[in-house]
Structure 1
Amino acid sequence: MKTALITGASRGLGLALAKALADDGWSLVLTARGEEDLFSAAFDLDATAIAGDVTDPAHVARLAAAAPELDLLVNNAGDLGPVPLPPLSCLPLDALRRLFETNVIAPLALVQATLPTLRRRKGAVLGITSDAAVEAYEGWGGYGTTKAALDQMSHVLAAEERDLAVWWVDPGEMSTRMLADAVGPEEAASAASPASVAAELARLVTIRPESGRLTKEALAAVTTGARE
Protein backbone atom coordinates (compact mmCIF):
# COMPACT_ATOMS: atom_id res chain seq x y z
CA MET A 1 0.00 0.00 0.00
CA LYS A 2 1.30 3.45 -0.89
CA THR A 3 1.45 6.23 1.70
CA ALA A 4 0.86 9.96 1.27
CA LEU A 5 1.52 12.80 3.70
CA ILE A 6 -0.80 15.77 3.10
CA THR A 7 -0.53 19.14 4.83
CA GLY A 8 -3.48 21.48 5.20
CA ALA A 9 -5.70 18.40 5.08
CA SER A 10 -8.60 19.42 7.31
CA ARG A 11 -10.55 21.30 4.62
CA GLY A 12 -10.47 22.60 1.05
CA LEU A 13 -8.18 21.00 -1.49
CA GLY A 14 -6.15 19.08 1.10
CA LEU A 15 -9.22 17.29 2.43
CA ALA A 16 -10.60 16.67 -1.06
CA LEU A 17 -7.29 15.16 -2.19
CA ALA A 18 -7.16 13.00 0.92
CA LYS A 19 -10.59 11.62 0.05
CA ALA A 20 -9.59 10.98 -3.57
CA LEU A 21 -6.40 9.16 -2.59
CA ALA A 22 -8.22 7.14 0.08
CA ASP A 23 -10.67 6.01 -2.60
CA ASP A 24 -7.64 4.83 -4.60
CA GLY A 25 -6.40 2.74 -1.69
CA TRP A 26 -3.69 5.02 -0.29
CA SER A 27 -2.67 5.06 3.35
CA LEU A 28 -2.71 8.64 4.64
CA VAL A 29 -0.94 10.80 7.19
CA LEU A 30 -2.84 14.07 7.52
CA THR A 31 -1.92 17.29 9.25
CA ALA A 32 -3.46 20.71 9.84
CA ARG A 33 -3.69 23.21 12.65
CA GLY A 34 -7.41 22.73 13.37
CA GLU A 35 -7.63 19.61 15.53
CA GLU A 36 -11.40 19.07 15.46
CA ASP A 37 -11.79 19.14 11.67
CA LEU A 38 -8.58 17.19 11.15
CA PHE A 39 -9.50 14.36 13.51
CA SER A 40 -12.99 14.16 12.03
CA ALA A 41 -11.55 13.83 8.53
CA ALA A 42 -8.99 11.26 9.64
CA PHE A 43 -11.65 9.15 11.35
CA ASP A 44 -13.78 9.11 8.20
CA LEU A 45 -10.79 8.15 6.04
CA ASP A 46 -9.12 5.72 8.47
CA ALA A 47 -6.05 7.97 8.33
CA THR A 48 -3.39 9.02 10.81
CA ALA A 49 -3.95 12.57 12.08
CA ILE A 50 -1.19 14.69 13.59
CA ALA A 51 -2.37 18.22 14.38
CA GLY A 52 0.15 21.02 14.47
CA ASP A 53 1.86 23.89 12.69
CA VAL A 54 4.12 23.01 9.76
CA THR A 55 6.41 25.90 10.68
CA ASP A 56 7.30 24.08 13.93
CA PRO A 57 10.43 21.92 13.45
CA ALA A 58 9.27 19.48 16.14
CA HIS A 59 6.00 18.98 14.29
CA VAL A 60 7.85 18.37 11.02
CA ALA A 61 9.92 15.70 12.77
CA ARG A 62 6.75 14.04 14.09
CA LEU A 63 5.25 13.95 10.61
CA ALA A 64 8.36 12.39 9.09
CA ALA A 65 8.46 9.77 11.85
CA ALA A 66 4.80 8.91 11.22
CA ALA A 67 5.53 8.09 7.56
CA PRO A 68 8.71 6.00 7.47
CA GLU A 69 7.66 4.50 4.12
CA LEU A 70 6.46 7.54 2.18
CA ASP A 71 5.53 7.62 -1.50
CA LEU A 72 3.98 11.08 -1.84
CA LEU A 73 4.48 14.37 -0.01
CA VAL A 74 1.77 16.95 -0.67
CA ASN A 75 2.77 20.47 0.40
CA ASN A 76 -0.70 21.99 0.38
CA ALA A 77 -0.79 24.04 3.59
CA GLY A 78 -0.55 27.75 2.87
CA ASP A 79 -1.06 31.16 4.39
CA LEU A 80 -2.74 34.04 2.58
CA GLY A 81 -1.42 36.79 4.83
CA PRO A 82 -3.32 39.85 6.07
CA VAL A 83 -6.83 40.38 4.75
CA PRO A 84 -8.08 42.52 3.14
CA LEU A 85 -5.04 41.95 0.95
CA PRO A 86 -2.81 45.05 1.29
CA PRO A 87 -0.63 46.62 -1.40
CA LEU A 88 3.09 46.03 -1.04
CA SER A 89 3.51 49.58 0.23
CA CYS A 90 1.48 48.63 3.32
CA LEU A 91 2.38 44.96 3.74
CA PRO A 92 3.77 44.44 7.27
CA LEU A 93 7.20 42.89 7.01
CA ASP A 94 6.50 40.57 9.91
CA ALA A 95 3.50 39.25 7.98
CA LEU A 96 5.71 38.64 4.94
CA ARG A 97 8.18 36.72 7.10
CA ARG A 98 5.34 34.52 8.37
CA LEU A 99 4.21 33.92 4.80
CA PHE A 100 7.68 32.72 3.85
CA GLU A 101 7.82 30.49 6.92
CA THR A 102 4.56 28.75 5.97
CA ASN A 103 4.62 28.82 2.17
CA VAL A 104 8.33 28.28 1.46
CA ILE A 105 10.42 27.22 4.44
CA ALA A 106 7.95 24.67 5.84
CA PRO A 107 7.59 22.83 2.52
CA LEU A 108 11.38 22.60 2.20
CA ALA A 109 11.68 21.40 5.79
CA LEU A 110 9.21 18.61 5.04
CA VAL A 111 11.07 17.69 1.86
CA GLN A 112 14.35 17.51 3.75
CA ALA A 113 12.81 15.44 6.55
CA THR A 114 11.21 12.91 4.19
CA LEU A 115 13.83 12.72 1.43
CA PRO A 116 15.46 9.51 2.69
CA THR A 117 12.25 7.50 2.32
CA LEU A 118 11.13 9.35 -0.82
CA ARG A 119 14.47 8.55 -2.47
CA ARG A 120 14.30 4.92 -1.40
CA ARG A 121 10.78 4.49 -2.76
CA LYS A 122 11.29 6.75 -5.80
CA GLY A 123 8.39 8.84 -4.58
CA ALA A 124 6.86 12.17 -5.53
CA VAL A 125 6.49 15.70 -4.18
CA LEU A 126 3.42 17.73 -5.06
CA GLY A 127 3.38 21.42 -4.23
CA ILE A 128 0.33 23.65 -4.63
CA THR A 129 1.24 26.97 -6.21
CA SER A 130 -0.78 29.82 -7.76
CA ASP A 131 -1.01 32.06 -10.80
CA ALA A 132 -0.19 34.84 -8.34
CA ALA A 133 3.38 33.52 -8.61
CA VAL A 134 3.63 34.64 -12.24
CA GLU A 135 0.97 37.36 -12.65
CA ALA A 136 0.84 40.86 -11.13
CA TYR A 137 -2.41 41.06 -9.15
CA GLU A 138 -2.85 44.07 -6.93
CA GLY A 139 -2.83 43.06 -3.28
CA TRP A 140 -1.38 39.63 -3.96
CA GLY A 141 2.29 40.67 -3.78
CA GLY A 142 3.17 38.97 -0.51
CA TYR A 143 1.40 35.70 -1.22
CA GLY A 144 2.49 35.67 -4.85
CA THR A 145 6.12 36.28 -3.95
CA THR A 146 6.15 33.24 -1.69
CA LYS A 147 4.50 31.10 -4.36
CA ALA A 148 7.10 32.26 -6.89
CA ALA A 149 9.76 31.12 -4.43
CA LEU A 150 7.99 27.76 -4.06
CA ASP A 151 7.94 27.42 -7.85
CA GLN A 152 11.68 27.97 -8.17
CA MET A 153 12.47 25.79 -5.19
CA SER A 154 10.42 22.97 -6.73
CA HIS A 155 12.12 23.47 -10.09
CA VAL A 156 15.56 23.12 -8.53
CA LEU A 157 14.46 20.14 -6.46
CA ALA A 158 13.33 18.41 -9.65
CA ALA A 159 16.77 19.03 -11.17
CA GLU A 160 18.59 17.76 -8.09
CA GLU A 161 16.40 14.72 -7.33
CA ARG A 162 15.96 13.11 -10.71
CA ASP A 163 14.61 9.84 -9.32
CA LEU A 164 11.67 11.69 -7.79
CA ALA A 165 8.64 13.13 -9.53
CA VAL A 166 8.27 16.78 -8.51
CA TRP A 167 5.19 18.72 -9.60
CA TRP A 168 4.17 22.24 -8.69
CA VAL A 169 0.57 22.74 -9.69
CA ASP A 170 -1.44 25.94 -10.13
CA PRO A 171 -5.01 24.61 -9.78
CA GLY A 172 -6.71 27.94 -10.47
CA GLU A 173 -9.38 29.47 -8.26
CA MET A 174 -11.26 27.03 -6.06
CA SER A 175 -14.27 27.49 -3.83
CA THR A 176 -12.36 27.48 -0.54
CA ARG A 177 -12.36 29.49 2.66
CA MET A 178 -9.00 30.99 1.71
CA LEU A 179 -10.33 32.33 -1.58
CA ALA A 180 -13.46 33.64 0.17
CA ASP A 181 -11.25 35.51 2.63
CA ALA A 182 -9.40 37.10 -0.30
CA VAL A 183 -12.16 37.95 -2.77
CA GLY A 184 -15.39 37.52 -0.84
CA PRO A 185 -17.76 34.55 -0.50
CA GLU A 186 -19.88 35.41 -3.56
CA GLU A 187 -16.98 35.29 -6.04
CA ALA A 188 -15.44 32.28 -4.31
CA ALA A 189 -18.69 30.33 -4.59
CA SER A 190 -18.49 30.47 -8.39
CA ALA A 191 -15.00 28.94 -8.53
CA ALA A 192 -14.18 25.29 -9.21
CA SER A 193 -14.85 22.77 -6.49
CA PRO A 194 -11.83 21.37 -4.62
CA ALA A 195 -13.19 17.88 -5.30
CA SER A 196 -12.92 18.32 -9.08
CA VAL A 197 -9.32 19.52 -8.80
CA ALA A 198 -8.47 16.73 -6.34
CA ALA A 199 -9.73 14.10 -8.77
CA GLU A 200 -7.30 15.41 -11.41
CA LEU A 201 -4.43 15.52 -8.92
CA ALA A 202 -5.10 11.92 -7.92
CA ARG A 203 -4.92 10.93 -11.59
CA LEU A 204 -1.70 12.93 -11.96
CA VAL A 205 -0.11 10.93 -9.17
CA THR A 206 -1.18 7.68 -10.82
CA ILE A 207 0.00 8.72 -14.31
CA ARG A 208 3.28 10.10 -12.93
CA PRO A 209 4.31 12.41 -15.80
CA GLU A 210 7.71 14.06 -15.80
CA SER A 211 8.45 16.72 -13.22
CA GLY A 212 7.33 20.28 -13.93
CA ARG A 213 4.93 23.14 -13.36
CA LEU A 214 1.33 22.50 -14.35
CA THR A 215 -1.38 25.09 -14.77
CA LYS A 216 -5.00 24.00 -14.42
CA GLU A 217 -5.18 23.71 -18.22
CA ALA A 218 -2.03 21.58 -18.41
CA LEU A 219 -3.25 19.41 -15.54
CA ALA A 220 -6.54 18.82 -17.32
CA ALA A 221 -4.75 18.01 -20.57
CA VAL A 222 -2.44 15.47 -18.91
CA THR A 223 -5.17 13.71 -16.99
CA THR A 224 -7.69 13.78 -19.83
CA GLY A 225 -5.14 12.40 -22.29
CA ALA A 226 -4.40 9.53 -19.94
CA ARG A 227 -8.08 8.51 -19.88
CA GLU A 228 -8.41 8.44 -23.66
Structure 2
Amino acid sequence: MSVSIVTGASRGIGLEITRSLLANNSAVVTISRSVSDELRGLQSLQLDIIQGDVADRDISKLAVDTAIAKHGKLDCVILNHGILSPVGRIADVDVAEVTQNMNINFVSLLHTIQLALPHLRDSRGKILMVSSGAATGAYAAWGAYNASKAAMNTLAKTLAGEEKGVVSLAIRPGVVDTGMQEDIRRVGKTHMPPEMHSKFVELHSQGKLVKPQDTARVYANLAISSVNENLSNLSGQFLSWDGEELKDYR
Protein backbone atom coordinates (compact mmCIF):
# COMPACT_ATOMS: atom_id res chain seq x y z
CA MET A 1 0.00 0.00 0.00
CA SER A 2 1.36 3.39 -0.99
CA VAL A 3 1.10 6.41 1.31
CA SER A 4 0.72 9.93 -0.09
CA ILE A 5 0.21 13.48 1.11
CA VAL A 6 -2.05 15.59 -1.11
CA THR A 7 -2.34 19.36 -0.65
CA GLY A 8 -5.25 21.48 -1.85
CA ALA A 9 -7.45 18.39 -1.59
CA SER A 10 -10.81 19.97 -0.82
CA ARG A 11 -11.94 20.41 -4.41
CA GLY A 12 -10.94 20.19 -8.06
CA ILE A 13 -7.81 18.28 -9.02
CA GLY A 14 -6.73 17.61 -5.43
CA LEU A 15 -10.09 16.09 -4.52
CA GLU A 16 -10.02 13.83 -7.56
CA ILE A 17 -6.41 12.77 -6.90
CA THR A 18 -7.47 11.80 -3.39
CA ARG A 19 -10.49 9.92 -4.69
CA SER A 20 -8.37 8.04 -7.23
CA LEU A 21 -5.71 7.11 -4.67
CA LEU A 22 -8.29 5.74 -2.25
CA ALA A 23 -9.91 3.75 -5.05
CA ASN A 24 -6.52 2.14 -5.60
CA ASN A 25 -6.24 1.10 -1.93
CA SER A 26 -3.71 3.82 -1.10
CA ALA A 27 -3.46 5.74 2.15
CA VAL A 28 -3.82 9.51 1.90
CA VAL A 29 -3.18 12.42 4.25
CA THR A 30 -4.74 15.60 2.89
CA ILE A 31 -4.07 19.26 3.66
CA SER A 32 -6.52 22.02 2.75
CA ARG A 33 -7.55 25.39 4.16
CA SER A 34 -11.18 24.31 4.11
CA VAL A 35 -12.77 20.88 4.15
CA SER A 36 -15.52 20.42 1.60
CA ASP A 37 -18.49 18.08 1.96
CA GLU A 38 -17.06 16.15 -0.99
CA LEU A 39 -13.78 15.54 0.80
CA ARG A 40 -15.53 14.56 4.05
CA GLY A 41 -17.65 12.19 1.98
CA LEU A 42 -14.59 10.15 0.99
CA GLN A 43 -14.86 8.23 4.24
CA SER A 44 -12.08 5.69 4.57
CA LEU A 45 -9.86 4.29 7.29
CA GLN A 46 -7.00 5.14 4.94
CA LEU A 47 -7.86 8.85 4.76
CA ASP A 48 -6.67 11.47 7.25
CA ILE A 49 -7.89 15.03 6.71
CA ILE A 50 -5.88 17.94 8.08
CA GLN A 51 -7.41 21.40 7.90
CA GLY A 52 -4.98 24.29 7.85
CA ASP A 53 -2.83 26.62 5.81
CA VAL A 54 -0.07 24.77 3.99
CA ALA A 55 2.06 27.91 4.34
CA ASP A 56 2.18 27.09 8.06
CA ARG A 57 5.12 24.72 8.57
CA ASP A 58 3.39 23.14 11.57
CA ILE A 59 0.56 21.97 9.31
CA SER A 60 2.98 20.22 6.97
CA LYS A 61 4.72 18.67 9.97
CA LEU A 62 1.41 17.36 11.24
CA ALA A 63 0.69 15.78 7.85
CA VAL A 64 4.10 14.09 7.64
CA ASP A 65 3.95 12.95 11.27
CA THR A 66 0.46 11.53 10.71
CA ALA A 67 1.57 9.51 7.69
CA ILE A 68 4.56 8.07 9.53
CA ALA A 69 2.75 7.40 12.81
CA LYS A 70 -0.16 5.64 11.11
CA HIS A 71 1.54 3.88 8.19
CA GLY A 72 5.24 3.87 8.97
CA LYS A 73 6.30 5.36 5.66
CA LEU A 74 5.68 8.06 3.06
CA ASP A 75 5.88 7.31 -0.66
CA CYS A 76 4.71 10.48 -2.38
CA VAL A 77 3.93 14.15 -1.84
CA ILE A 78 1.54 15.76 -4.33
CA LEU A 79 1.70 19.55 -4.12
CA ASN A 80 -1.52 20.73 -5.71
CA HIS A 81 -2.46 23.87 -3.76
CA GLY A 82 -2.24 27.33 -5.30
CA ILE A 83 -3.97 30.63 -6.00
CA LEU A 84 -4.25 32.77 -9.13
CA SER A 85 -4.65 36.21 -7.53
CA PRO A 86 -3.62 38.93 -7.86
CA VAL A 87 -4.76 39.34 -11.45
CA GLY A 88 -3.58 42.61 -12.93
CA ARG A 89 -0.88 44.33 -14.93
CA ILE A 90 2.61 44.43 -13.45
CA ALA A 91 2.41 48.24 -13.45
CA ASP A 92 -0.64 48.21 -11.17
CA VAL A 93 -0.55 45.06 -9.05
CA ASP A 94 -0.27 45.24 -5.26
CA VAL A 95 3.17 43.94 -4.28
CA ALA A 96 1.81 42.69 -0.95
CA GLU A 97 -0.60 40.46 -2.86
CA VAL A 98 2.25 39.22 -5.04
CA THR A 99 4.17 38.32 -1.89
CA GLN A 100 1.16 36.38 -0.62
CA ASN A 101 0.89 34.53 -3.93
CA MET A 102 4.57 33.54 -3.84
CA ASN A 103 4.30 32.42 -0.22
CA ILE A 104 1.35 30.16 -0.98
CA ASN A 105 2.33 28.93 -4.44
CA PHE A 106 6.08 28.54 -3.93
CA VAL A 107 7.57 29.16 -0.48
CA SER A 108 5.07 26.82 1.19
CA LEU A 109 6.31 23.98 -1.01
CA LEU A 110 9.63 24.09 0.79
CA HIS A 111 8.04 23.35 4.18
CA THR A 112 6.35 20.16 3.00
CA ILE A 113 9.30 19.03 0.92
CA GLN A 114 11.89 19.58 3.65
CA LEU A 115 9.84 17.72 6.23
CA ALA A 116 8.97 14.86 3.86
CA LEU A 117 12.40 14.33 2.28
CA PRO A 118 13.94 12.10 4.98
CA HIS A 119 11.05 9.67 4.55
CA LEU A 120 10.96 9.95 0.76
CA ARG A 121 14.66 9.08 0.66
CA ASP A 122 13.89 5.93 2.64
CA SER A 123 11.06 4.91 0.31
CA ARG A 124 12.76 6.14 -2.89
CA GLY A 125 9.59 8.11 -3.35
CA LYS A 126 8.21 10.94 -5.45
CA ILE A 127 7.43 14.64 -5.28
CA LEU A 128 4.75 15.62 -7.80
CA MET A 129 4.04 19.30 -8.31
CA VAL A 130 0.90 20.55 -10.07
CA SER A 131 2.37 23.19 -12.34
CA SER A 132 0.82 25.16 -15.21
CA GLY A 133 1.37 26.22 -18.79
CA ALA A 134 1.57 29.70 -17.25
CA ALA A 135 5.09 28.79 -16.10
CA THR A 136 6.29 29.24 -19.66
CA GLY A 137 3.35 31.08 -21.24
CA ALA A 138 3.89 34.44 -19.50
CA TYR A 139 0.16 35.20 -19.64
CA ALA A 140 -0.68 38.89 -19.40
CA ALA A 141 -2.17 39.95 -16.04
CA TRP A 142 -1.01 36.72 -14.36
CA GLY A 143 2.46 37.95 -13.39
CA ALA A 144 2.53 36.51 -9.87
CA TYR A 145 1.03 33.18 -10.91
CA ASN A 146 3.36 32.87 -13.91
CA ALA A 147 6.39 33.53 -11.73
CA SER A 148 5.32 31.15 -8.96
CA LYS A 149 4.82 28.27 -11.38
CA ALA A 150 8.12 28.99 -13.12
CA ALA A 151 9.77 28.88 -9.69
CA MET A 152 8.04 25.56 -9.03
CA ASN A 153 9.47 24.10 -12.24
CA THR A 154 12.96 25.23 -11.28
CA LEU A 155 12.50 23.74 -7.83
CA ALA A 156 11.62 20.35 -9.34
CA LYS A 157 14.70 20.51 -11.55
CA THR A 158 16.94 21.50 -8.65
CA LEU A 159 15.60 18.72 -6.45
CA ALA A 160 16.26 16.18 -9.18
CA GLY A 161 19.90 17.20 -9.15
CA GLU A 162 20.21 17.20 -5.37
CA GLU A 163 18.09 14.18 -4.45
CA LYS A 164 19.02 11.39 -6.83
CA GLY A 165 16.92 8.80 -5.02
CA VAL A 166 13.69 10.83 -5.15
CA VAL A 167 11.77 11.49 -8.37
CA SER A 168 10.66 15.14 -8.64
CA LEU A 169 8.29 16.20 -11.42
CA ALA A 170 6.41 19.39 -12.31
CA ILE A 171 3.34 18.41 -14.32
CA ARG A 172 1.00 20.67 -16.24
CA PRO A 173 -2.60 19.45 -15.70
CA GLY A 174 -4.11 21.20 -18.74
CA VAL A 175 -6.95 23.72 -18.69
CA VAL A 176 -9.10 21.96 -16.10
CA ASP A 177 -12.75 22.54 -15.28
CA THR A 178 -12.21 23.80 -11.71
CA GLY A 179 -13.05 26.77 -9.54
CA MET A 180 -9.98 28.61 -10.81
CA GLN A 181 -11.43 28.55 -14.32
CA GLU A 182 -14.67 29.98 -12.96
CA ASP A 183 -12.66 32.82 -11.43
CA ILE A 184 -10.88 33.46 -14.73
CA ARG A 185 -14.15 33.72 -16.62
CA ARG A 186 -15.70 35.92 -13.93
CA VAL A 187 -12.95 38.43 -13.14
CA GLY A 188 -10.50 38.00 -16.00
CA LYS A 189 -12.35 40.25 -18.41
CA THR A 190 -11.41 43.31 -16.37
CA HIS A 191 -7.65 42.72 -16.55
CA MET A 192 -6.84 40.16 -19.25
CA PRO A 193 -6.46 40.94 -22.97
CA PRO A 194 -9.83 40.30 -24.67
CA GLU A 195 -8.49 37.52 -26.89
CA MET A 196 -7.01 35.71 -23.90
CA HIS A 197 -10.18 35.96 -21.82
CA SER A 198 -12.26 34.84 -24.80
CA LYS A 199 -10.08 31.74 -25.18
CA PHE A 200 -10.98 30.51 -21.70
CA VAL A 201 -14.66 31.40 -22.11
CA GLU A 202 -14.81 29.48 -25.41
CA LEU A 203 -13.04 26.42 -24.02
CA HIS A 204 -15.73 26.26 -21.35
CA SER A 205 -18.68 26.93 -23.65
CA GLN A 206 -17.45 24.34 -26.17
CA GLY A 207 -16.95 21.69 -23.49
CA LYS A 208 -13.21 21.47 -24.10
CA LEU A 209 -11.99 21.90 -20.54
CA VAL A 210 -10.14 18.91 -19.12
CA LYS A 211 -12.15 16.90 -16.58
CA PRO A 212 -10.48 16.99 -13.15
CA GLN A 213 -10.72 13.21 -12.78
CA ASP A 214 -8.87 12.63 -16.06
CA THR A 215 -5.80 14.67 -15.23
CA ALA A 216 -5.94 13.57 -11.57
CA ARG A 217 -5.57 9.95 -12.63
CA VAL A 218 -2.07 10.68 -13.95
CA TYR A 219 -0.87 12.07 -10.63
CA ALA A 220 -2.47 9.19 -8.72
CA ASN A 221 -1.01 6.54 -11.01
CA LEU A 222 2.43 8.10 -10.69
CA ALA A 223 2.07 8.17 -6.91
CA ILE A 224 1.29 4.47 -6.60
CA SER A 225 3.70 3.23 -9.28
CA SER A 226 7.09 1.73 -8.59
CA VAL A 227 10.03 3.92 -9.54
CA ASN A 228 11.68 2.41 -12.61
CA GLU A 229 14.52 3.56 -14.83
CA ASN A 230 12.21 5.39 -17.24
CA LEU A 231 10.53 7.34 -14.43
CA SER A 232 13.88 8.15 -12.81
CA ASN A 233 15.11 9.53 -16.12
CA LEU A 234 12.15 11.95 -16.20
CA SER A 235 13.00 13.44 -12.80
CA GLY A 236 13.35 17.21 -12.84
CA GLN A 237 11.33 17.71 -16.01
CA PHE A 238 8.29 19.88 -16.68
CA LEU A 239 5.78 17.58 -18.37
CA SER A 240 2.20 17.76 -19.60
CA TRP A 241 -0.36 15.33 -18.22
CA ASP A 242 -1.27 14.29 -21.76
CA GLY A 243 2.27 14.18 -23.11
CA GLU A 244 3.92 11.11 -24.59
CA GLU A 245 6.22 10.76 -21.58
CA LEU A 246 3.29 10.03 -19.26
CA LYS A 247 1.14 7.87 -21.55
CA ASP A 248 1.64 4.80 -19.34
CA TYR A 249 0.10 6.66 -16.37
CA ARG A 250 -3.14 7.79 -18.02
> Fold match, TM over 0.5?
yes
Aligned mates of 2:171, 2:78 — CA distance in 1: 11
Residue 154 of structure 1 deviates from its aligned partner by: 1.1
Counterpart of 2:238 in structure 1 is 213
Which digits, 9 at most, give the CA deviation of each residue in 1:70-98, with x for residues without a partner?
1000010101113xx21111111111111
Counterpart of 1:14 in structure 2 is 14
Counterpart of 1:118 in structure 2 is 120
Counterpart of 2:134 in structure 1 is 132
Does the Cα contact within 8 Å between 1:30 and 1:38 map onto a contact in 2?
no
Counterpart of 1:98 in structure 2 is 100
Aligned mates of 1:137, 1:7 — CA distance in 2: 25
What CA RMSD, in Å, does the superposition of the two structures yield over aligned residues?
2.0
Cα distance change on mapping 1:89 and 1:126 into 2, 3 Å:
same
Residue aligned with 2:51, SS:
coil
Residue 11 of structure 1 deviates from its aligned partner by: 0.5
Residue 16 of structure 1 deviates from its aligned partner by: 0.5
Which digits, 9 at most, give the CA deviation of each residue in 1:87-128, with x for residues without a partner?
111111111111111111111110001111111111100001
Q: Aligned letter for 2:16? A: A
Q: Aligned letter for 1:160? A: E
Q: Please, what TM-score do these two structures have when normalized by structure 2?
A: 0.82
Counterpart of 2:213 in structure 1 is 195
Counterpart of 2:168 in structure 1 is 166
Q: Aligned letter for 1:181? A: D
Aligned mates of 1:7, 1:75 — CA distance in 2: 5
Aligned mates of 1:73, 1:188 — CA distance in 2: 31
Does the Cα contact within 8 Å between 1:134 and 1:148 map onto a contact in 2?
yes
- Asked if 1:25 is matched to 2:50, the reply is no
Residue aligned with 1:54, SS:
coil
Cα distance change on mapping 1:141 and 1:41 into 2, 3 Å:
farther
Gaps of 5+ in 1: none
Cα distance change on mapping 1:23 and 1:42 into 2, 3 Å:
closer
Residue 207 of structure 1 deviates from its aligned partner by: 6.2
Aligned mates of 1:147, 1:129 — CA distance in 2: 6
Gaps of 5+ in 2: 187-199
Aligned mates of 2:114, 2:203 — CA distance in 1: 34
The range that moved more, 168-177 or 185-194, is 185-194
Counterpart of 1:2 in structure 2 is 2
Aligned mates of 1:226, 1:10 — CA distance in 2: 23
Residue aligned with 1:66, SS:
helix
Q: Aligned letter for 1:222? A: E
Larger radius of gyration: 2
Cα distance change on mapping 1:177 and 1:59 into 2, 3 Å:
same
Counterpart of 1:73 in structure 2 is 77
Matched residues, number: 223
The range that moved more, 86-95 or 43-52, is 43-52
- % same residue: 28
Cα distance change on mapping 1:43 and 1:226 into 2, 3 Å:
closer
- Asked if 1:222 is matched to 2:226, the reply is no
Aligned mates of 1:198, 1:39 — CA distance in 2: 15
Runs of 4+ in 1 over 4 A off after TM superposition: 185-188
Residue aligned with 1:28, SS:
strand
Q: Please, what TM-score do these two structures have when normalized by structure 1?
A: 0.90
Residue 38 of structure 1 deviates from its aligned partner by: 6.8
Aligned mates of 1:45, 1:146 — CA distance in 2: 35
